[in-house]
Amino acid sequence: MNTGVISKRYAKALYLFAKESKQEKLVYREMSTLADSYLQVPALRKALDNPLLSVEAKIDLLRSASGGNVSKETERFFALVLKEHREKFIQFMACSYVDLYRKQNNILIGRLVTATPVDKRIEDRMRMMIVKGTQGTVEFETVVEPSIEGGFILDVDFNRLDASVATQLSRIHRQFMEKNRKIV
């Protein structure tokens, strides 16, 4: 069976179970934390794949990676996944749950990249522009990246508005080289 199919089925089952007990937002935070833990600690996957580690130890490890004290829904989910020997898919299950929750609740991901730190008002204004244009909620982060030299890059889900000085200079350089190639 395909990794994506397995992950999505488990994520959907967890979402429905959490929604039934009105804990889907809490489980969302826990699954987000777990997904981030996999990115920050690559050894987590190896530890969970270790057959010498007991189920209780793996549950403790997953609990810690999910933020410590987890909901009973998440705890039961971990027990089910380990009982079915699907621990190698749990990272994908967590990501699938996060995606499903965001889709069900119309949550977009926004990221503002600037060359220097921006004022909180500007960040809030950008967030409100996205909310107004999409009628959804936005999880927004601001990143300082001096290499863009000025301007900004705004990512919203899979859309990008690149108004950075570095990109504009690169575009001008490309155009200049194309015109001068004909002369030489």
Q: What does the DSSP 8-state code read for residue 117?
A: -
- Amino acid in position 46: K
Closest by alpha carbon to 10, among 81, 79, 75, 62?
A: 81
pLDDT at 34 over 90: yes
Closest by alpha carbon to 62, among 91, 19, 101?
A: 91
Give the model confidence (pLDDT) of 56-100 as tens digits.
999 999 999 999 899 999 999 999 999 999 999 999 999 999 999
Write down the domain spans for the chain.
3-103, 106-183
The band of 32, judged by pLDDT with boundaries at 50, 70 and 90, is very high
pLDDT at 158 over 90: no
Question: Is 18:73 a contact under the CB 8 Å cutoff?
Answer: yes
Closest by alpha carbon to 77, among 2, 20, 139?
A: 20
Q: Does domain 3-103 have CATH number 1.10.520.20?
A: yes
Spatial distance between the Cα atoms of 49 and 58, rounded to a whole number of angstroms? 9
Spatial distance between the Cα atoms of 93 and 164, rounded to a whole number of angstroms? 36
* Between 73 and 179, residue with greater pLDDT: 73
- The per-residue pLDDT for 184 is 53
Mean pLDDT of all residues in the chain? Answer: 91
Give the model confidence (pLDDT) of 109-130 as tens digits.
889 999 999 999 988 888 888 8
pLDDT at 168 over 60: yes
